[in-house]
Amino acid sequence: MDAIQSLVKYVLALEQSSEATSRAEDRSIYKSLLADAGPILASALVRDAQSNIASRISQHERLWGYSWLQDPVFQSASDAWQAVKLAYAQAAV
């Protein structure tokens, strides 16, 4: 899968998970993840330097590490995030 396409799918998965969750405390986490994912997508769309995108991905990964989502609907967004990391790791090779 194309790296940009994987980012688009990830952002949409975050949005869907945010709307589908029944846990109010999860919504603010999704909003934080969405707010942080937007600049990553924008950087990718303008073909920003790979090092800048890699830095943003690393920062976003830390945000995931500090997030404790309770509702199982997070799994689709988590899977999409794993696909983004894989796509960019492959693109860097």
Please give the pLDDT value at position 25.
94
Concatenating the DSSP letter of every residue in 5-49 gives HHHHHHHHHHHHHHHH---HHHHHHHHHHHHHHHHHHHHHHTT--
Examine the pLDDT at 49 and tell me if it is beyond 80: no
Residue of 60, 5, 6, 18 lying closest to 37 (CA atoms): 60
Q: For residue range 14-47, what is the model confidence (pLDDT) as tens digits?
A: 999 999 999 999 999 999 999 999 999 999 999 8
Query: How many distinct structural domains can be found in the chain?
Result: 1
Find the domain containing 7 and state its range.
3-92
Please give the pLDDT value at position 93.
62
Task: Put residue 54 in one of left, alpha, beta given phi > 0 → left and psi -120 to 50 → alpha.
Answer: alpha
Examine the pLDDT at 50 and tell me if it is beyond 80: no
pLDDT band at 1 (very low <50, low <70, confident <90, very high): low
